[in-house]
Structures are given as C-alpha cells and as structure tokens.
Amino acid sequence: MDGALMLARRVIACLDVDRGRVVKGTGFTGLVERGDPVELAARYADGGADEICLLDITATHEHRATVFDLVRRAAERLFVPLTLGGGIRSEHDAALALRAGADKVSVNSAAVADPALLGRMARRFGAQCVVASIDAKRENGGWRVYTHGGRTATALDAIEWARECVRRGAGEILLTSMDRDGSREGYDLALTRAVADAVPVPVIASGGAGSAAHLRDAITAGGADAVLLAGILHEGRARIAELKAALDADGIPIRRIA
C-alpha cells in the first residue's frame, strides 16, 4: 500500500460503559471496572485520540435508554468527534444522542431487527452520522453476526451484512472480532480485510489490539481506515502518542498531535 496515497488513518479510543462506569473484559465477558467515562474520554482526547467511542454495552440487553446525560457531559470536555452506541433503537434515540453532543451514532441490534432503520437515519441525519456496528465470531469457515452485546447469535454472515448495512445507508462500519476482543493478540486481519474489500465506506477494526504493530497490520494488511483501542489504554500498557509515533515511523499517515 502506497502511504503517499493513503488518507490519514484514525486512532479511536473506545469506552465500554456499564451503569455509568467504564468496564473492559475479554471476549465480551469478565468485565472489570476501569474508571469514569468522562474523565477517561477527556484524557484520551488530550492524549491524541482522533475520536472517542462510547458504547453503552448493556442498554440493549437490559431494555433501557442509553446514557444521553453522559454524552452531554463528555461532549462538553471534548474537541474530537464522539460516537455513541448501545441502546440506539430509533430515529428518536439518534436525534437525542446527536442533540446531546454526539457526532455519530452506532447501531447494532436495532439494525439487525429493522434494517430499514439505517436508511431512515441516513436520510434524516446524513450517512456520515450512521455507524453500523458489527460483532462477529468465527463459525463454520466464516463469521457470524451477534447482537445484544454478543449474547444473541443471528443467521447473518458478517461480510454480507456489512454490504447490506452500506446499501441501507451506513456511512461507516465498526467491526469487532469477538474472538480477539481483549486478547491483546492482534486484530482479526482476515475478517477486517474481507469486510474492507466488500464495502466502499471506512471500516474501523476493533478487538485484539496489543501493540503498535497490531495497529499497523490492521491498516496495511487488514485494510482498515481506523483502529479502535480500549484495554491497552485503560491498563496503561500504551499511550496514544506512542502508538501514533510508531505508525508514523512505519510510514502510515496519521493526524498529528497538537
């Protein structure tokens, strides 16, 4: 891949939120509390994150509204784009999230239940605001889509579902490998590449980041437009500035830290 022709790749800090606190586990289980989401969001933005992604990981499973007040408080502290996911079930929910200060909304379970929701949201708010979140697990030689925070298996193939999401109006794909989530063993490059080759919109690689080399591989070998980080940041294993410096040294265009 010719770095001179590449657009700047984004490094996104992800905060999984449960009952108002940041948590992180492995393979969507074994959650451990990591801190206050507003404070962590501000810290990562100040440290060079290109975007912040807040995912209310239990809102859909618990059939409750998502954390709009949390979004409002975080948005007041941030100068980078903010995405909210989890518990977004309707255009009304998306409007509330955007009004609270989110720049994008991420939809997973509700889009599987009602694929037309993606189109309605894209027409009302613009495709650039609509992120289709796909949680995928390797099964039978492919990748199966899961919903409800990884609790519910669907009959959907992740590659075909990504294509359908884009046809419906999604402007971006947030692609999480459930097999790699929290593993620190690197992103699922085969999954990332398969989706990146299948859709004409940006793909965010998620699940498995453990080093700068993993970020590089997701971009170069996996074809990702952005990489999402969580555990290695929360645990202090890496800082965004260091990761971006390593990507820059590898010839990958990144947004400079002011």
Q: Is 256 inside any structural domain?
A: no
Q: Work out the average pLDDT over 206-233.
A: 97
How do residues 93-148 score in pLDDT, each as one tens digit? 999 999 999 999 999 999 999 999 999 999 999 999 999 999 999 999 999 999 99
Q: Which of 47-56, 61-70, 101-110, 113-122 is least confident?
A: 61-70
Q: Is 2 inside any structural domain?
A: no
How do residues 143-170 score in pLDDT, each as one tens digit? 999 999 889 999 999 999 999 999 999 9
Instruction: For residues 94 and 235, give the distance between their C-alpha atoms in angstroms, rounded to a whole number.
Output: 31
Hey, what are 127's tokens? 């495709």
- Per the structure, the count of domains in the chain is 1
**Angle in degrees, CA 79, 82, 88, rounded to 5:** 155
Q: Is 147 inside any structural domain?
A: yes
What's the CATH code of the domain at 49?
A: 3.20.20.70
Q: Is 257 inside any structural domain?
A: no
Q: Supply the mean pLDDT for the chain.
A: 91
Query: pLDDT value at position 32?
Result: 67
Question: In this model, does residue 59 exceed pLDDT 80?
Answer: no
Q: Which of 4-8, 32-36, 168-172 is least confident?
A: 4-8
Q: Is 56 inside any structural domain?
A: yes
Q: Dump strand ranges (E) for 27-120.
A: 29-35, 51-56, 82-85, 104-107
Print the domain residue range for 128. 9-249
Query: pLDDT value at position 61?
Result: 56
Which residue among 18, 50, 56, 135 is the active-site one?
135
More confident residue, 65 or 43: 43
Query: pLDDT value at position 226?
Result: 98
Hey, what are 154's tokens? 């669907």
Question: In this model, does residue 1 exceed pLDDT 70?
Answer: no
- Banded model confidence at residue 23, pLDDT cuts 50, 70, 90: confident
Q: At what angle do helices 189-198 and 158-168 cross, to 10 degrees?
A: 40
16 among known catalytic residues = yes
Query: pLDDT value at position 101?
Result: 96
- What is the identity of the amino acid at 220? T
Query: pLDDT value at position 87?
Result: 87
Query: pLDDT value at position 182?
Result: 87
Query: pLDDT value at position 35?
Result: 82
- Banded model confidence at residue 60, pLDDT cuts 50, 70, 90: low
18 among known catalytic residues = no
Question: In this model, does residue 247 exceed pLDDT 90?
Answer: yes
- Whole-model pTM: value is 0.92
Instruction: For residues 94 and 90, give the distance between their C-alpha atoms in angstroms, rounded to a whole number.
Output: 6
Query: pLDDT value at position 18?
Result: 85
Q: Is 255 inside any structural domain?
A: no
Q: Is 1 inside any structural domain?
A: no
